[in-house]
Structure formats: structure tokens, C-alpha cells
Amino acid sequence: MRASDVDRVKGLPLFADAAAETFRVATAGAHVQRFPPGTMLLLEGDPVDFLYVLLNGQVELHGTWNDHETVLTILRPVSTFILAAVVLDAAALMSARTLERCEILMIPGDAIRTAMRLDPRFAMSVSRDLAGCYRGLVRNIKNIKLRNSTQRLANYLLAQRAIDSSGSSVILHHEKRILASLLGMTPENLSRSFAALQKHGVTVQGSVVTLANIAALEQLAKPDPLIDNSAPRGGDIIAEADAEIWLSELSRAKPR
């Protein structure tokens, strides 16, 4: 790893509590690499040699079966991925592809496992990261199973508005076909859902979605902190686990 990248990597949540020797062991064979859009980083079923940490850009995680493909999640910085497979030294359950130019830290999987055995604090950081990903997975399953397509889209727009602190507009960071797959619907259903939201103040112009009546949209969407995580990103909220902790603390602070 280049000297210019060392301080940036030390500041990642994964290494926040790691001892100096643990950091040295974990990152001895690590490197930061830049990838163009459309690069397939790994395929489901392949052995996982590296832990990936997305530093810049967007990465799509997707799965396939019987000639069908679905988007599982879209990652934005800072996100680790394939961590569970690295911990278990198991094959990848999903494929990863860059959606735009990306900067990714790649850490050898065996170095991560060695560092976990050496340093309980680092092992706790890994557990924290996994817990954040697991809770995000549970939220996504509940969202898909408990809501119809229009409700899923409405809640997605409200969550992105909060995450990006974007006021009355939301920028779609990826193509609509990818958004449709992410929300568990066809592109045609996504178009119908956007049309259904027009009477709730939602208009679309290219990648910009205007939310003219937030109250009406919230009345339809009925956002739920046990499904939706709308923690604003930035500052101390970097990884998925940070967002989970922020939301939990917010819920505890509210009067019952």
C-alpha cells in the first residue's frame, strides 16, 4: 500500500480500535486500486481472496439464477463488502460490479482472519460491521415482503432525501432499471409507481426527482424506523453500522 493511502485507511471504521501491530498485519498486502465503470470485481461462487472496501464511487451487488439477475444492494462510500465470506473463508454468494469509476481498498482475506485472531478489538470492529450489514439485510427483506411497489418507491425517495440531506429533491444515483431491480420490481412497474406518486407531489425530470408535498408522501409511505434507516451520512456516520447506532440512539432519546 502506498504511503499516501496509509493515513486514509487508518481512519476507516474497521481499523478505528485496532492496535498498530494489527493494522500492520492486516494491511501488509493491501492496496488501493481504481476501476473503470462496468468492471466485474468478482463472481458469485468464486473463492474470495480479498476484502473490498469502497472508498469512492458506486458498486452494485447482484445475484443470478436460471438466467435471471437481481440487484441486491447498491454500495456507496464507505462500505466493506464480501466481509462474511472473508471471515468464513467461503465462496461469494453474490457478484460485484462497478457502476462508475471506483476507488477500492483490497485487503487479503487471510490477513483479515489473522488480525481477528490477534486482536479482540479488531475482531469486535469486524463484528460491528457485520452486524450493520445484517440489520440492513433484515430491513430490506421486511421492505420487500411487507410493502407494495409504490410504497417501496415512496419510502426509498424519503430515505434518500434524508440520507443526502437534499431538501425537496432527490438525485437518482443510478439508472432506473437498476433502481427497479433494487426495489424488487420490473422497470414497467417502476414507471407505474412513479406515475402513482404524481398525485402525492412527486415529479421526475431525468435523474432529478422533486418531492413537492413531503407530508402527503409520508402519509402514503408510512416510514417505519424498524424498516427504514434514514440516518444522514457524513461526519461520524460513515459505515452502515454507524447509521444503525445513530438510529437506535435517536429512538431511545424519543419520549415513549
C-alpha cell at 184: 424488487
Q: Give me the pLDDT at residue 233, please.
A: 85
Indicate the helix (H) or strand (E) that contains 31. strand 31-35
> What are the domain boundaries of the chain?
3-142, 147-223
Output the furthest CA–CA distance in the chain (Å, rounded). Answer: 58
| pLDDT score at 253 | 83
Report yes or no: 87 and 115 within 8 Å, Cβ to Cβ. no
Q: Identify which of 158, 174, 165, 178 has the alpha carbon closest to the alpha carbon of residue 206.
A: 174
Omega within 30 of 0 (cis) for the link into 78 = yes
> Average model confidence (pLDDT) for the chain?
94
pLDDT above 90: percentage of residues in the chain:
86
125-143 per-position pLDDT tens digit: 999 999 999 999 999 999 9
Is the separation of the CB atoms in 43 and 4 below 8 Å?
no
Residue 256 pLDDT grade (very low, low, confident, very high; cuts 50, 70, 90): low
Whether the pLDDT of residue 255 is over 80: the answer is no
CATH of range 147-223; options 1.10.490.10, 3.40.50.1000, 3.30.360.10, 1.10.10.10:
1.10.10.10
Neighbours of 194 (CB within 10 A): 17
CA angle 234, 235, 237 (to 5 degrees): 65
CA distances from 42 to 12, 71, 212 (A): 23, 15, 41
Q: Where does the pLDDT of residue 251 fall: very low under 50, low under 70, confident under 90, or very high at 90 and above?
A: confident
pLDDT of residue 220: 97
More confident residue, 104 or 232: 104
> For residues 12 and 50, what is the distance between their CA atoms, to the nearest angstrom?
17
Domain 3-142 in CATH 2.60.120.10? The answer is yes
At 114, the pLDDT band (50, 70, 90 cuts) reads: very high
**Per-residue pLDDT reduced to its tens digit, 200-231:** 999 999 999 999 999 999 999 999 999 999 88
**Residue 111: which of 30, 214, 195, 201 has the closest Cα?**
30
pLDDT value of position 159: 94
pLDDT average, residue stretch 68-86: 95
Angstrom distance (rounded) from CA 37 to CA 97: 8
66 dihedral zone (left: phi>0; alpha: psi -120 to 50; beta): left
Per-residue confidence (pLDDT) for residue 1, from 0 to 100:
78
Q: What is the pLDDT of residues 151-200, one digit of tens each?
A: 999 999 999 999 888 788 999 988 999 999 999 999 999 999 999 999 99
